[in-house]
Structure 1
Amino acid sequence: MSVLSEVRVGTELPPLRLPAISRTTLALFAGASGDHNPIHIDLDVARSAGLDDVFAHGMLSMAYLGGLLTGWAPQERIRSLRVRFAAVTPVHGEPTCTGRVVALAGTVATVELAVTLADGTVTLTGEATVDLAPES
């Protein structure tokens, strides 16, 4: 019996705790994503914008949420993923991705998602729909 067959409203996905965001992580994500906005990788640019330091790409946090979902359910079962960026993830921030099933409609679960830093700051909120039924 699949773990997905045991899902109920209130089921919590196993949290995805990530290491601190390093400058190397930001540089590698810039290259992988094609998003070379200097605000994410160049300290001088960040400071000229009035910031203390660079900060992570919002899409990096969204990618981490995708990893949370695909760690829980096969990719082909994810029907939708929507997010709202709520705060920046600073360099050295330690994000944790969480999810909780908030509704079931037939075999489709609605999962409430969040990315939270160690200090409690929520940087990303969202919702996904996941089909729990195996493909026939």
Structure 2
Amino acid sequence: MTGASSIKAGDSLPPFVIESVSPDTMRDWSVFLADPNPIHLDVEVVKAKGLGDKRINQGPINVAYLMNMLMAAFPGCRIESMDSRFLDNVYEGDRAVASGEITAVEGNRVSCDLKLDVDGRGTVNAGTATIII
């Protein structure tokens, strides 16, 4: 996307695609986040808890996918505010697509609806953001 003068409410943001959520990335993020929860690291723990048969992606990674989508759509922007709600888990191997739509443009402030969809299961995270461009 370009400057504020060329965008308008209703415009779609280019998707940010994660072709396959990586368990190696989950392991790395468990260190960054100081989050050693075994549901992110050990399939056997996930199975024992009745949560499926794949490692579960950390929530902050899912939010980062949304942030990456915004930063790619508006290079150099600043995220002024953002909220999101977790609707379902993202699992290792999932193909996830972060996307959004502009809901308002006021000067250099752009408001957007955001969502993270997983192939075959729909929206797993949804929210809003206001960015400064």
2:122 is the alignment partner of 1:89: no
TM-score (norm 2): 0.88
Count of aligned pairs between the two proteins: 131
Q: C-alpha separation between the residues in 2 aligned to 1:19 and 1:119?
A: 13
Gaps of 5+ in 2: none
Q: Secondary structure at the match of 1:87?
A: coil
Q: C-alpha separation between the residues in 2 aligned to 1:59 and 1:48?
A: 24
Q: Which piece of structure 1 moves more, 81-90 or 2-11? A: 2-11
* Structure-2 residue corresponding to 1:18: 18
> Counting strand residues as a fraction of each chain, which structure ranks higher?
2
Kept after mapping to 1: 8 A contact 2:2/2:74 = no
Q: Once superposed, what is the RMSD of the aligned Cα atoms? A: 1.7
Aligned-pair identity in percent equals 26
Kept after mapping to 1: 8 A contact 2:114/2:126 = yes
2:70 is the alignment partner of 1:49: no
Kept after mapping to 1: 8 A contact 2:8/2:102 = yes
2:114 is the alignment partner of 1:113: yes
Q: C-alpha separation between the residues in 2 aligned to 1:55 and 1:78?
A: 27
Gaps of 5+ in 1: none
* Structure-2 residue corresponding to 1:3: 2
Q: C-alpha separation between the residues in 1 aligned to 2:48 and 2:121?
A: 28
Q: C-alpha separation between the residues in 2 aligned to 1:31 and 1:50?
A: 25
Kept after mapping to 1: 8 A contact 2:10/2:101 = yes
